């Protein structure tokens, strides 16, 4: 056993999946799989012998499901957990509940026989495990009561007038590890007339739609998974679909989005850098850039371009981050105007919008 490597326990009821995950993770020299388990009861025995740094956990398993096991682990012996789930609607909904129970990341299971998908999964899974190993485990806070949303007409009217004068603000937000709960906290604090928001959260395909629907039910603003040509309007947040890049575009006085395929950028698809660079190009000083908790450096160079284009830029501070990676890298590049605790970011966005 190498004491410098990240020790991983794989928990999945499929022997084929366990074998594949082991091969994928051990292809990274910084990761060591110390054990695999077919169900939570076997996992407990493994943990008694050697405590892992990270657990990868399936949700659908015999004898005890993954969510029940996750709740027990986080209440009795907190260990960073990466949910490794299938690309299915039910799996997406369960994975989102896992964030509420304390999971750090969610990734899609590698799809056997699809070479490119397996390679992309390798990058994303290894990054997720590394992020989880350095994560602070935060207890999620309670949700607040949501006021009725404004009608579409009430949202559109002031925005259309403001954009004709090219002064309407656009908020671009990037997040990764820990970002699902950070975004929930941030968006819940924003009123229904907040400037239009575009978001990249590193998350697999299908999971983003369930995530957007969940936030839509919690927030005063409307939240939806982005589709090409969606207009950016006051009171609405658009979230990049998993496995697709999201770009901000402009046509006259109208801001809209484009959803695109393409290679991984900064080891991610969607990439925060792709969104931020498009915001710098098409919104310039009308943009507000926000970079939240996450592993790695995605978004740092894009945020610098936003600042150089005249945008206001905000980073989440270290104390409130699950992983202080992405904000730290943006700060190091000199791309950030303000470094704020998560609970102060909404106020800073609104102040800039005024």
Q: Give the active site residues.
A: 176, 202, 298
Assign 294 to helix, strand or coil. Answer: strand
- CA 105, CA 179: separation in Å to the nearest integer? 9
H-run or E-run covering 349: helix 342-353
Torsion of CA 188, 192, 194, 198, to 10 degrees: 70
Q: Which segments of 86-114 does DSSP mark as H helices, in order?
A: 89-101
Enumerate residues 6+ apart whose C-beta is below 8 A from 168.
159, 162, 195, 196, 234, 253, 255, 286
**Alpha-carbon distances, residue 189 vs 172, 192, 266 (angstroms):** 16, 10, 30
Residues 6+ away with beta carbon under 8 Å from 277: 301, 302, 305
């Amino acid at each position: 056993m190498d004491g410098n490597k990240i020790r991983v326990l794989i928990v999945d009821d499929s022997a084929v999946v366990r074998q594949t995950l082991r091969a994928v993770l051990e292809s990274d020299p910084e990761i060591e799989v110390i054990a695999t388990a077919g169900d939570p009861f076997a996992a407990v025995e493994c943990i008694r012998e050697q405590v892992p740094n990270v657990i990868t956990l399936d949700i659908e398993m015999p004898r005890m499901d993954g969510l029940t096991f996750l709740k027990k682990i986080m209440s009795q012996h907190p260990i960073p957990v990466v949910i490794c789930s299938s690309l299915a609607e039910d799996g997406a909904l369960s994975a989102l509940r896992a964030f509420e129970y304390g999971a750090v990341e969610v990734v899609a299971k590698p799809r056997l026989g699809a070479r490119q998908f397996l390679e992309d999964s390798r990058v994303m899974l290894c990054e997720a495990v590394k992020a989880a190993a350095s994560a602070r485990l935060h207890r999620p806070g309670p949700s607040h009561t949501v006021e009725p949303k404004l009608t579409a007409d009430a949202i559109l009217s002031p925005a259309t007038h403001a954009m004709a004068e090219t002064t309407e603000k656009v908020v671009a937000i990037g997040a990764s590890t820990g970002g699902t709960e950070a975004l929930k906290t941030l968006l819940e604090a924003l009123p229904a007339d907040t400037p239009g928001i575009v978001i990249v959260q590193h998350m697999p395909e299908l999971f983003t739609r369930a995530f957007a629907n969940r936030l839509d039910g919690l927030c005063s603003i409307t939240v939806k998974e982005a589709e090409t040509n969606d207009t950016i309007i006051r009171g609405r947040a658009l979230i990049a679909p998993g496995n697709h890049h999201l770009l901000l575009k402009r046509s006259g006085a109208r801001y809209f989005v484009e959803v695109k395929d393409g290679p991984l950028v900064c080891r991610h698809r969607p990439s925060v850098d792709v969104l931020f660079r498009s915001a710098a190009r098409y919104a310039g000083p009308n943009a507000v850039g926000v970079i939240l908790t996450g592993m790695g450096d995605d978004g740092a160079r894009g945020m610098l371009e936003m600042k150089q284009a005249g945008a206001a830029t905000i980073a989440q501070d270290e104390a409130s981050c699950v992983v202080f990676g992405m904000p730290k890298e943006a700060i190091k590049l000199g791309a950030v105007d303000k470094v704020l605790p998560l609970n102060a970011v909404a106020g800073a966005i609104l102040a800039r919008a005024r």
